[in-house]
Structure 1
Amino acid sequence: MNTPEAVAAAGPLAHPAAGVPDLVAAEDVLLFVNAAITATGQREFHSDADAQRLSLDFLHTSVRVNYRRVYAASLALDINHHNAALIVRALLETAGEASDEERRTEGRLIAARLALLPPPRVYRLFGELRRAKVNNRRTRAIMRDWLAARPDLGHDAVKYRAGLKTAARHIHLRCRQEAEPLPETGEFLFRPGRSRRYEHRLLDAWRRAHYEQGAVTELPFSVAEGFAAKHGMKREVFLKRAAPRMTRLERLRTQEQRVVGDRRPDVDLTAMPLTRLASYVLSLGFTQRAERRAELTGALRAAARRAAGAHAGSWGRVHAVLDDSFSSSGSGQKRRRPLAVALACHHLLEALAAPGAYRGLWTSGAGDALLVRPWGPTPLGARILDALEPGPGGAAPDRLVIVSDGWDNAPAGLAGEVLRVWRQRLDPGRRTAAVHVNPVYDADGFDVRRLAAGVATAGIRDAEDLPALVEIARFAEGRAGPEELYAYLDRRVARFTGEGGTA
């Protein structure tokens, strides 16, 4: 186990463990990045929530102790919110293990990451820090700066009352009459019911909503729902009145309740992120999908073009193998999430490929992407053979992309053997770039399941991250060395904290 002093002496993001080969260290880093992108501590198809949490906790502890600088640098990557919060908490809890230089870098990374996290998750993190009695000066400063940057603490006091109250107590935040920008916040949080009227619109609406039905829809939707139930408001009437103040996600969640007969929903699907849109599409029945084919397909393609950005049309000939087997149904906590990622990747890859040069193959043999469903075994090997067939004009694909949880079972192991023989004997010059992206964390293996040693595997959370993941995958494939990996992390940290150029 490395001491903090040994870590600090190793340079910005160089491998800190003396005597351990750099290649092994780089593999450990990539393993952790895959986990931090895909794992959420929730039940998956092949493992329960307890196994997921235990595996993830072990991995976090191992990487933090042995590669603290890289562990902190992970905050600059496209990891999910769950792991970002775990990293922030672990860094603040173990501040004594870091050098002065490390603490400065970690502080910048933590501040930048907290600014991107959803407010409910940040307030939950602050509550965990209070319960863990983490109250060092750096923690208080980070919490104070985050609260100071909030656009409207009055809004937070109404919507996240318990979280803001806990944070204010933990850092001894002054909420006296002369405090800025909201002198009423402290009174609202710690002495409710004392004021007959608040100057802040939302604070006063919350006061009036206890006895005045008209004030209910002035509140944030999640708060207004409770008051609406208390006043016995009809659901349809409440949703109609609350619509102007609902967020895009809240509108989506309540959309089916508000659609009556053939009336079109008032949610702009073309403005939704690609993977979230794919999840919504899969939540609809086959009849609804078929009836709204033009609308849904157009929205998916528009979202894919936005996600592709400058990369659109630049990937040449792209063949994809997309997993829609029964395991893509996910779990009760992550319903159809793997299939949603595959559907989103299907449309994104179509946008990334040259015009007319994309071919997507579903493991079930489905020919209509809009009507896919989790069904059947996972014949990855057979589909990979089909995907490696030359396209029009006899040209081999420039890229082969496999989107699957890696549970190849029809027959088991065929996909890995196909990829091994193809890479070693048919394409040793790597004319076709191959990558396997996996949306499911394997708790037993502390990583996402891989198909073959010669094909890079990267964890994926949202399809929108695919172009960036392909860059990371080249490190896993061995086409770039450990030094390049650490240099890449340095660039990402600099860009994330606003101290450098682009990565």
Structure 2
Amino acid sequence: MATRAEPATTHADLVAAEDVLLFVNAAITSTGQREFHSGEHAQHMSLDFLHAYVRVNYRPLYAASLALDINDHNAALIVRHLLETAGEADAEQRRVEGRLIAARLARLPAPRVYRLFRALRAARVNNRRTRAIMRDWLAARPDPALDALKYRTGLKCTARHAHLPLTTRTGQEDDGELGDFLFAPGRRKHFTTPLLDAWRRAHYEQGALYELPFTVAEGFAARRGIDRRTFLERIAPRMTRLERLRLQESARTHRAEVGADLTGMPLTRLASYVLGLSLDDRVARRAELTGALRAAARRTAGGQAGTWGRVAAVLDDSFSATGSRQKRQRPLAVALACHFLLEALAGTYLPLWTSGRQDALLAYPYGATPLGMRLLDALESAPERLVIVSDGWDNAPPGLAGEVLRAWRTSLDPRGRTAVVHLNPVYDADDFAVRRLSASVPTAGVRNAEDLPALVQLARFAEGRTGLAELRAHLDDRVRRFLEDAGTGRGEAR
């Protein structure tokens, strides 16, 4: 996507930049699931409209958003819409889109990619480029036999749709063993691939199921009526790190030991795990949990640790941070993760929770949202940076936060000595945006605290003073680095 030099920022440029930023914020925060203030249907309708609007009016920028920190749900939607509407793009656009799609698919979880391929098949999208993308993605999979076991339906659908040869060894043709496993498993009495043969033996040999991946073995264990504690302890060596974390409470219930190591977990996922524990468990494991959260924050901060100077944060732990049944306590998990990351980034750090609590580890959703009062406390400390993590529903009293920020920016700090940014983890379906606190303060959507440093940079475009040329330059730079990191400069699907 080449950057065009523009002589001046026009009103149309500002509108275009605002439209694209509106979409990016939605693509970061919304997953089409129910939120505290809006239902699932409203989320879907609002998000579908934004995708269609930006794709039709700003297709190159729509594709370039694949290089940003958008969530997996929206990345898959963008890929699907680009492939479904390939006729709307010229040859150069299709070339760039092909590289971006290949790079983004390599980062998506395998189950989501297989669901995407099944959706493309249902939509009868079967052009040459789509088949090439499917072929190249499958060829890069590290263990085809593992995919055949864990994602059998998705792999079968993809192979049929794109007419792909199947092999159990990357880059080598075999005797059709993988194809037989998928389409005619009873044809062979023995598989030479150990994982496939373990699946065959698990039908009549109980010990063989412990050679399988956890998600596959779990089904066999349920059918055989194997004691849950026995199964968890014996299958533990086959679990992934995330499976161990997810099953910690189940293991405790059944008095099984699966030995999860928290020290290498991603920061936001670890924060979600901590919030899922009871307050008593958090107190009992305070040293372990706090140490793991701080270690994850230091890894995320990297070379920026301690470089942000004086930082104050206003963190929303009001009742609306409960989220929804599908996204349980997700807003609070983001706030907790941001708290530990800001602590690592700052030279000196002042955290202020809306509830007034002092102990972040014991956070839980409670009470109203007195953002205005907490902002007054934060600004009184004269920080160099003020970061607000909230869904933007200021209600104690309503509107005070916006007035505080307006007065601060226009009268008390017109030169911007304090950099203020609002990060919102919740998409407001009615407004097609993340809810803002004030027009004088930039707002960006956030889903994972790990993206906080990049989002603080992106948020400056949301102040309404930068046009399309500067935004394009920023996206061009992100696309270039994204493709360099992915290593898709050669041999990608066109």
After TM superposition, the score normalised by the length of structure 2 is: 0.94
Q: Per the alignment, in what secondary structure is the counterpart of residue 436 of structure 1?
A: strand
CA RMSD of superposed structures (Å): 2.1
Letter in 1 for 2:264: A
Q: Indicate the residue corresponding to 2:172 in structure 1.
A: 180
Q: Distance in 1 between matches of 2:287 and 2:394?
A: 34
**3-state DSSP class of the match of 2:268?**
helix
Aligned residues: 483
Query: 1:323·1:378 contact (CA, 8 Å) conserved in 2?
Result: yes
Gaps of 5+ in 1: 1-9, 391-395
Q: CA 1:280–1:13 in structure 2 vs 1: closer, same or farther (change >3 Å)?
A: farther
| Residue 448 of structure 1: aligned partner | 434
1:95-494 counterparts in 2 under 5 A?
A: 95-175=86-166, 180-182=172-174, 183-259=176-252, 266-354=259-347, 357-390=348-381, 396-478=382-464, 480-494=466-480
The runs of 4+ residues in structure 1 deviating greater than 6 Å are: 176-179, 260-265
2:139 alignment partner, SS class: helix
Deviations 1:416-441 (A, max 9, x none): 01100110000000000000000000
Amino acid paired to 2:40: A
What amino acid is the match of 2:172? Answer: E
Sort the Cα spacing of 1:236 and 1:55 in 2 relative to 1 into closer, same or farther, 3 A: same
Distance 1:500 1:249 in 2: 24
**How far apart, in 2, do the equivalents of 1:467 and 1:424 lie?**
26
Cα distance, 1:175 vs. partner?
Answer: 3.8
- Report the Cα offset of residue 110 of structure 1: 0.2
| Residues 293, 19 of structure 1: alpha-carbon distance in 2 compared, 3 angstrom cutoff | closer
Secondary structure of 2:125's counterpart equals coil
Compare relative contact order (CA 8 Å, sep 6+) and give the higher one, 1 or 2.
2
What does the per-residue CA deviation read over 1:71-92, in whole Å, with 9 as the maximum and x for residues that have no partner? 0000000100000000000000
Structure 1 residue 483: Cα displacement: 2.0
Kept in 1, the 8 Å contact 2:315–2:390? The answer is yes
Q: Which runs of 5+ in 2 are unaligned?
A: 488-494
Say if 2:233 and 2:256, in contact at 8 Å, map to a contact too: no
Shift of 1:41: 0.2
Alignment-mate amino acid for residue 288 of structure 2: E
Contact 2:168–2:193 under 8 Å retained in 1: no
In the TM superposition, what are the counterparts of 1:492-503 in structure 2 within 5 Å? 492-498=478-484
The residue type paired with residue 336 of structure 2 is L
Tell me, yes or no, if the aligned pair for 1:404 and 1:438 is still in contact at 8 Å: yes
Identity of aligned residues (%): 71
How far apart, CA to CA, are the structure 1 residues paired with 2:5 and 2:315?
Answer: 37
**Contact between 1:312 and 1:352, CA under 8 Å: does it hold in 2?**
yes
Report the 3-state secondary structure (helix = DSSP H, G, I; strand = E; otherwise coil) of the residue aligned with 1:32.
helix
Q: What is the TM-score normalised by the length of structure 1?
A: 0.93
The question of whether the paired residues in 2 share the 8 Å contact of 1:12 and 1:69 is answered with no
Asked whether the equivalents of residues 318 and 353 of structure 1 are also in contact (C-alpha less than 8 Å), the reply is: yes
Whole-Å Cα distance in 2 between the matches of residues 14 and 441 of structure 1? 33
Cα 1:262–1:169, aligned 2, differ >3 Å: closer, same or farther?
A: closer
